[in-house]
Each structure stands twice: as structure tokens, then as C-alpha cells.
Structure 1
Amino acid sequence: MFKYTLRRLLQMIPVVLGATFLIYWMVFSLPGDPTAGKCGDRPCPEAYVAEFREQYNLNDPLPIQYGKYMAGVVQGDFGESYYGVEISEELSERFVVTAKLAGMALAIEAVIGILAGVLAGLRKGGFIDNLVLISTLAVISLPIFVTGTVLQLYLGIRAELFPVTVGSDASFYALLLPAFVLGSTSLAYLARLMRTNLGENVRSDYVRTARAKGLSQPRVVGVHTLRNSLIPVVTYLGYDLGALMGGAIITEGIFNIPGVGGYVFRGINDRDGIVVVGAVTALILVYLLANLIVDLLYGLLDPRISHD
């Protein structure tokens, strides 16, 4: 297990370098002057522009800019925004909020999605199965901003069950509705994935053998069928954690959540490339670590998978 983990960590290095360079190249190759608008309606003085470009290494060739940036990242320094604020400080505050939101969304989609998928997979063609299929199709068909706005209107404003906006109060209760909205689409896909996998495994030879041996239905489903059906589900959840953190921009905007999504959106609007690159770099690291954890969990779910 240790050798496998070490090997995977080493394999992450070229992935991180390649992904971050691609992001860096795309962001800093965009046309436009990063000093535009920083001196009001008037053009900035030449001395200010020269100092600005020197401070942020904008006069260097792109590979050298990237090398200097990554040298700081290795030391935990993501640089400064174009407004002189340490990006690592901003990310440390906002990342906690986004990670909390994404973690809650992941837990909601895992619990509800797996439960709905199991109930539908065990009763294919029945009322619960049809209900799951129709409801998940409806959720998948709706854009996330429609789901968020509708639930905010009916559950937040009219029913007053949840706060309409989160703001600085990123408590568990305040984030509950945004977390459900964020994970709603993934929940629907997860329920369908679980239903399909469980339905296939129920008809497998090893399940018929287990029943022929006299094992009870809960043991057949809980120990044999469910365990094998969870392998692709865990894969999906590992991928989705990174997707939830990176795709929280719309949800954070609807509910006024001070997270990484809003920070990236503000950086794009302000043409603050170093903010965008810093936030995306942190999300890449989270995504890779989540996938490593998923790979390690395979061995627990299926003893046939060895990491030696």
C-alpha cells in the first residue's frame, strides 16, 4: 500500500505541472492590458505600468513566468493579486467555505442517491423505480441556476425554511439548501448509476449461488451485491468532489456564498490572472488527492483489487 501510494504521488507531479502550465498559458495568453481600469478612466502612467509589469513578471517570457510562479507554489506561496492581497490568505478563508459546501453536497448526493438507487434497483418496474427514473430525469433536465432559484424562492422566501442568502454566516444550516442545490444533478446521476449496477449484480451467478446456499436477502444484498455495486459509485463520487468544488460558481452566486467560485469569477472579471491560476491550481490538487483516496478505497470494497 505504501509503495502504491508513493508511486501515485510521484505520478501526480507531471499531471500537476502539465495542468497548471496549460491553465497558466491560457490565462496569460488572453489579449488585454491587466492595468486597464486601475487608474480610473485615464490611462495609467508609464512608470506605474512598468513597475506593475516588473512586479508580476509580465515582461518575462511565458515559460519563465510559469517557472517563477511554480517556485513560489512549491513553498506555499500563490503570489499576490493585482490589488496586493496574498492569494494564499484569500484561499485559506474561502477554501474552507467551498470545501464545507462541497462536502455537504457530496454527503447529500451519496446518501440520497445510493438509497434511491438501491430501492429502484431492487424493485425494477415498480412504483419506486418509476418514481426515481422520472424525478431524476426532471432534475437532470433543469439547469442548476433554475433549480437554485426555484428552491430559493419557495423554500427560502415563501416557506422561510432556509436562509435566502448565506453571506458571512457559513453555518451548517445556512449551507444546507445550497449544498442540496449544488449536488442535485450529481444526485440524480448517482441514483441512476446505482440502480443500473445493482440491477445487473442482482442477476449475476454469484448472487444466485448465494441464495441457493440459503443466505437471507439482507445478507445477499448488503454483503455481496451492494459491495460490488459501490465500486463505480465510489469512482463517481471521487471525481465529483473536484467537480463540485470547481463548479460551485453558480450556486455560490445565487446564495451569496463567499467561496472559491466567487473568487475565481471576480478574478476573471478583473482580469486578475494570478488569482484565477492560484485558485485553479488549488482545485487541481484537491481533485488529484480525491482520486487517490478513491483508488485506495477500491481495495476495501473489493479484496480482489490489490495495491501491492
Structure 2
Amino acid sequence: MGAYVVRRILQMIPVVIGATFIIYAMVFSLPGDPTAALCGDRGCPPALQQEIAEKYHLDDNVFVAYGQYAVGLLQGDFGDNVRGNPVTGDLADRYPVTAKLAIMALAFEALIGVLAGALAALRKNGFLDNVILVSTLLLISTPIFVIGGLSQYFLGVRFAIFPVTVSREAGFYDLLLPALVLGSVSVAYVARLTRTNLAENLRADYVRTAKAKGLTPRRAIGLHALRNSLIPVVTFIGYDFGALLGGAIITERIFNIRGIGGYIFQGINQRDGFAVVGAVTALVIVYLIVNLIVDLLYGVLDPRIAHD
């Protein structure tokens, strides 16, 4: 196990380098003046433009400029934004909010999605199964901004069950409605994935053998069939966690959340290259770590999967 973890960590290094270089090259190859957000429409004085270009190596070759950035990145320095503030400070301020939102959305999709999918598989072709299939299809086909807008209006404005916007403290209750909105589409995918895999495993020979040997239906389903059915579900959830961290831009905009999604959106609008690159780099690292954890969970769900 230890050797496997070390090998996977070593494999992450070229992935991080390649991903950050592509992001860096794409962001800093965009047309426009990187200092426009700092000085507004009037533009910065030539002396200040030259100072910023030297500080951020804007006039250097992209490989040289990225090399300078990578050296700082290895030391935990994500650079400074165009206003001279450390990107690490901005990320430390905003990342916990997005992480809390993503974890709440993930818990919602995992619990409700697996439960709905299991009930649909056990009642296949029945009324409950049809209701769940129609409901999940409706969620999948509805854009997230429509779900967010309707939820905000009915549950926040009309019936005043949840806050309309999230406060700066971003407490649990403030983030509950945005988390439900953010995880709503993923709930549908998890439910359908669980239903398909569990329905297939219920017809497998090992489940019939377990029942024939005297195992109760509850233990045969819960201990064997459902456990094996969760392997692709865990894979999707692991992938989706990274997507939730990076894809919460729309939800954060709807509910006025000061998270990493809004930070990336603001950085793109202001052409703040180091803010965008630093935020996306942090997302890449978190995504790789989550994928490693998912791979290790395979061995927990199915002991036949060994990590040598």
C-alpha cells in the first residue's frame, strides 16, 4: 500500500507540471492589457506598466516565465495578483467556503442519490422506480442556473425557508440551499448509476448463492450486492468532487458566495493571470489527491482489488 501511494504521488508531479503549464500559457496568451484591471480605462503609466512586466516576466518567453512561476510554486508561492496581494492569501480566504459548499453538496448527492438508486433497483419497473427515473431525468435536463433561480425564488423569497444570499460568515444554514442546488444534478447521476449497477448485481450468481446458503436478503443485498455496486458510484463521486470545487461558479454567483468560483470568474474578467492560474492550480492538486483517495477506497469496497 505504501509503495502504491508513493508511486501515485510521483505520477502526480508531471500531471501538475503539465496542467499548470497549459493553464499558464493559455491565460497569459490572451489578448489585452494585464494592467487594465489595475488602472481602469485610463490605463497605467508606461513606467508602471514596465515595472509590472518585469515583476511578472510578461515580456519573457512563456517557458522562461513559467519556469520562474514554477520555482515559486515549489516553495508554496502562488504569486501575487495585479494588485500586489498574495494569491495564497486570497485562496486561504475563499477556499474554505467553496470546500464547505462542495462537501455539503457531495454528502447530499451521495446519501440521497444512493438511497434513491437502491430503492429504484429493489422496486424495478414499479411505481417508485418510475417516479425516480422521471425525477432524475428532469433534474439532468434542467440547467443549473434555472434550478438555482427557482430555488432561490420559491424557497428563499416566496416562502422564506432559506436565506436568499449567503452571508460573509457562510454558515451551515446559509450554505444549505446552495449545496442542494449544486448537488441536484449529481444526485440524478448517482441515483441512476446506483440503480443500474445494483439491479445488475441482484441478478448475479454470487447473490443467489449467498441467499441459498442462508444469508438474509438484507445482508445479501447490503453486504454483497450494494457494496459491489458502489465501486462505479465512488468513482463518479470522486470525479464530481473536483468538478464541484471548480464548477461552483454559477451557484456562487446566484447566491453571492465569496468562494473560489467567483474568484476565478473575477480573475478572468479582470485578466488577473496569476489569480486564475493559482486558483486552478490549487484545484488540480486537490483533484489529484481526491482521485488517490478514491483509488484507495476501491480496496475497502472490494478486497480483491489490491494496491501493490
Return the TM-score normalized by structure 2: 0.98
Post-superposition shift, 1:47? 1.1
Matched residue, 2:266 = 266
1:144-198 Cα distance to aligned partner (Å, 9 max, x none):
0000000010001111110000030310111000001001101100000000000
Q: Which amino acid aligns with 2:173?
A: Y
Q: SS at 1:41's partner residue?
A: helix
1:239 and 2:223 matched: no
Distance change >3 Å, CA 67–CA 198, structure 1 → 2: same
Matched residue, 1:51 = 51
Matched residues in 2 for 1:211 and 1:178: separation? 43
1:218 and 2:192 matched: no
Matched residue, 2:146 = 146
1:40-65 Cα distance to aligned partner (Å, 9 max, x none):
43342211111110111112110111
Matched residues in 2 for 1:197 and 1:14: separation? 34
Matched residues in 2 for 1:265 and 1:40: separation? 18
1:201 and 2:201 matched: yes
Matched residues in 1 for 2:33 and 2:289: separation? 35
1:92 and 2:92 matched: yes
Structure 1 moving runs of 4+ over 4 Å: none
Matched residue, 1:36 = 36
Are the aligned partners of 2:106 and 2:241 in contact in 1 as well (CA < 8 Å)?
A: yes
1:79 and 2:79 matched: yes
Aligned residues: 308
Matched residues in 1 for 2:73 and 2:52: separation? 21
Are the aligned partners of 2:38 and 2:83 in contact in 1 as well (CA < 8 Å)?
A: no
Matched residue, 1:124 = 124
Matched residues in 2 for 1:294 and 1:41: separation? 48
Post-superposition shift, 1:115? 0.2
Consecutive unaligned residues of structure 2, counting only runs of 5 or more, are none
Matched residues in 2 for 1:40 and 1:220: separation? 66
Matched residue, 1:105 = 105
Matched residue, 1:192 = 192
Matched residues in 1 for 2:107 and 2:192: separation? 17
Distance change >3 Å, CA 231–CA 273, structure 1 → 2: same
Matched residues in 2 for 1:221 and 1:120: separation? 14
Matched residue, 1:228 = 228
Matched residue, 1:136 = 136
Q: Which amino acid aligns with 2:263?
A: Y
Are the aligned partners of 2:101 and 2:175 in contact in 1 as well (CA < 8 Å)?
A: yes
Post-superposition shift, 1:85? 1.0
Post-superposition shift, 1:213? 1.4
Matched residues in 1 for 2:108 and 2:80: separation? 36
1:190-234 Cα distance to aligned partner (Å, 9 max, x none):
000000000000000111111111211100111010110000011
Matched residues in 2 for 1:20 and 1:149: separation? 34
Matched residues in 2 for 1:43 and 1:155: separation? 44
Q: SS at 1:130's partner residue?
A: helix
Distance change >3 Å, CA 40–CA 29, structure 1 → 2: closer
Q: SS at 1:241's partner residue?
A: helix
Q: Which amino acid aligns with 1:124?
A: K
Matched residues in 2 for 1:219 and 1:280: separation? 44
Matched residue, 2:278 = 278
Matched residues in 2 for 1:38 and 1:136: separation? 45
1:223-250 Cα distance to aligned partner (Å, 9 max, x none):
0101100000110111010000000000
Matched residues in 2 for 1:297 and 1:54: separation? 47
Return the TM-score normalized by structure 1: 0.98
Are the aligned partners of 2:241 and 2:287 in contact in 1 as well (CA < 8 Å)?
A: yes
Q: SS at 2:36's partner residue?
A: coil
Q: SS at 1:39's partner residue?
A: helix
Q: Which amino acid aligns with 1:109?
A: E
Q: Which amino acid aligns with 1:254?
A: I
- Is 187-196 or 51-60 further displaced after alignment? 51-60
Matched residues in 2 for 1:96 and 1:82: separation? 23
Matched residues in 2 for 1:71 and 1:104: separation? 35
Q: Which amino acid aligns with 1:174?
A: D
Distance change >3 Å, CA 11–CA 40, structure 1 → 2: closer
Matched residues in 2 for 1:44 and 1:70: separation? 27
Matched residues in 1 for 2:276 and 2:112: separation? 33
Matched residues in 2 for 1:178 and 1:120: separation? 26
Q: SS at 1:306's partner residue?
A: coil
Matched residues in 2 for 1:51 and 1:135: separation? 57
